[in-house]
Amino acid sequence: MSKELIIVNGLPNTGRTTWVNKTYTGDNTVIIEESSYPKLLKEGRYQESEFFNSIDWVEARVKEQMEKSNPAGQIVVIPLQTRPDHWLGMLELAKTHEYKFTPIRPQHGSLYYKSNLFGNMFEQIESIKKSTINRFPKIVKDKKNKKDETEVKENQHLFTNLNNEFLCTWSFVNFNNIKAGDSNPEKWIKMINNEFQSSIYYAAKTKVALEARIAKEQARAIEKLKQEAEEKAKLELAQMTKAMEEAEKAKLVVLQDVEEIKDVV
């Protein structure tokens, strides 16, 4: 079996993982699902701040498999988001380790949720939409609000945006399949870099901004802990001082009582 990196495209919650587990059952196959990133899900919801980290986590798992002395024949990746610019790190690894690259979209009828679970296609779509919205972040910043930059509103277009992203990706894949030749990762890298320049630039810019924001929040948290520690120390010192003063007063009272007793005697 030749070495091959396979990326399975499709909307979240459509049964891709179930389909992959049924389709790729060989001993020389390793399945890596982005949703398995430990920090990505919390109480059943995706953590938006972890999306970039989840991509890095997938790349690290792919690299780990490719660098083994007996590498897997197939590495199947199930990405959370399907934009091709998110594939670049994995494609660079495929190029270095001489893996073929194959993007795949399961056939409409192959996904498990199609099997007698719904009456028609519209019911299926509504089910996918509902499960997607329930797991993805449902809020976005309200750009029109100038007074409070932290105010957020519900994202009404989440599912539509994800669906458009998937359709654009698959259109790009279909159009460029012939150009890629024999699943050549180097050719895919060049095509993705040419087609998604603005997305790659925006993603890099967003990631830097996110890292800066996280660093700022961590600095604030550290400063807050420092202030709380200082306030606690001041409070403890004040309490200790007060206790010593009260002890000193009590000592004086006792000494005064002793003197009075001596006078009586």
Average confidence (pLDDT) over 257-262: 67
117's tokens: 């679970």
Give residue-wise pLDDT tens across range 171-225.
888 888 877 766 889 999 999 998 888 777 777 787 787 788 888 888 888 888 8
Give residue-wise pLDDT tens across range 203-217.
778 778 778 888 888
Q: Where are the domains of the chain?
A: 4-195
Average confidence (pLDDT) over 145-172: 72
Instruction: Tell me the pTM.
Output: 0.69
Query: CA angle, corner 72, sides to 70 and 74, nearest 5?
Result: 160
Tell me the pLDDT of the chain averaged across its residues.
81
User: Considering the domain 4-195 in this protein, what is its CATH number?
Assistant: 3.40.50
Give residue-wise pLDDT tens across range 24-81.
888 889 999 999 999 988 888 888 788 888 999 999 999 999 998 777 789 999 998 7
Give residue-wise pLDDT tens across range 109-150.
555 444 556 666 677 777 778 877 778 776 655 555 555 555
Q: Residue 165: its pLDDT value, please? A: 82
What Rg value do the Cα atoms of the chain yield, rounded? 30
Helix ranges (DSSP H) in the chain? 16-23, 51-66, 88-96, 121-135, 158-176, 185-195, 197-264
Strands 4-8 and 100-104, bridge-based pairing: parallel
